[in-house]
Amino acid sequence: MAWRMPAETAKHERTWMAFPREGQTLGTTAAEREDGYAAWVSVAHAVAEFESLTMVVDPTELTRARRMLAANIDIIEAPYEEFWMRDVGPTFVLDEAGALGAVAWVFNGWGAHSWAAWQASSMLGRIIGEAAGAQIIASDLVNEGGGIHVDGEGTVLLTETVQLDPRRNPHADKAAVEAEMLRTLGATHAVWLPRGLTRDYQDFGTSGHVDIVATMPSPGTLLLHSQTDSRHPDHAVTAALRELLAKQTDAQGRAFRIVDLPAPATLHDTDGIVDWSYVNHVVVNDGVVACGFGEEAADARAREILAEAYPGRRVSTVDARSIFARGGGIHCITQQQPISGETA
């Protein structure tokens, strides 16, 4: 059976999220925890303005979730430790007849970090896939949804320090990873980034997820994170990535048109150098939910670039600083489910 992951711009049945639960990611103080709950709820409400949303909720958080979430948000109950839905949940695909599939990757806490707990979270791919009525596509590859981007026409973006991470897939090589991308996502051509952003290699990072670096808003076009301040280490990183990607082609043999998406001006937060990125937006039906960073001019410029990259969609901004402080962004906490029944 041939499976294909549609582009994020394809029509969605719904978006999936996971409600925060107490633990290291949420925070150690009451103020930190409340800040985390509020950030996730703000994203959920922003997405729900455009399309249906289902929130998976750990049994310990049901009362709070029901109190904080709008009535139009569906809730299902399941246990988990981590609530980065893009990474712990399934990747949805369609077969040639339009039937829904759910790729259940192996999740091991972004490379079995000493601080990570993932035993319950590792079951969410199957739990959510079954709840969505999808056929489960089991994979032996340790991978996360934030580590891939597709254009729906056969191209997949990957990062050498993610899929080839020895803590994730010690025996894998590029050929094996690409074969699995073909089997599960229908990807016929892989574009490999050598690395991701600087902060993503700290202890609480993902070691180079592509969804904070680059995405394909349409076939043949790349939106690329651009750090224009030479005082930030990602200035050199993004310049090198741009040079590399300018020499690449997509699955159809087209050279990429690269659109720079400049980073906000802030260089540091309380934990050091930031990885704030407007690339980490989520596309929804008729809209885009973008990360905001409290910089009016930079946030507005990002909205303009995104509106041009996604014509006909309304771009809204949600403050993502509290999400980034915990290790990710808006794309990282959401996962789209395409409409099934349409031929792939």
Q: CB-side exposure of 29: number of CA atoms within 13 Å?
A: 3
Cβ proximity of 39 and 323 under 8 Å: yes
Please tell me which residue in 164, 214, 332, 344 is annotated as part of the active site: 332
Concatenated DSSP letters for 57-115?
E-GGGHHHHHHHS-TTSEEEE---S---HHHHSPEEEEETT--EEEEEEE--HHHH-TT
3-class state of residue 273 by DSSP: strand
User: Which pair of structure tokens corresponds to residue 126?
Assistant: 């199957």
Is residue 162 within 8 A of residue 168, CB to CB? The reply is yes
Please say if 332 is a catalytic residue: yes
E runs forming strands in 120-227 = 135-142, 149-150, 155-159, 189-193, 214-218, 221-226
- Lookup: tokens for 18: 């996971």
What positions carry a catalytic annotation? 332
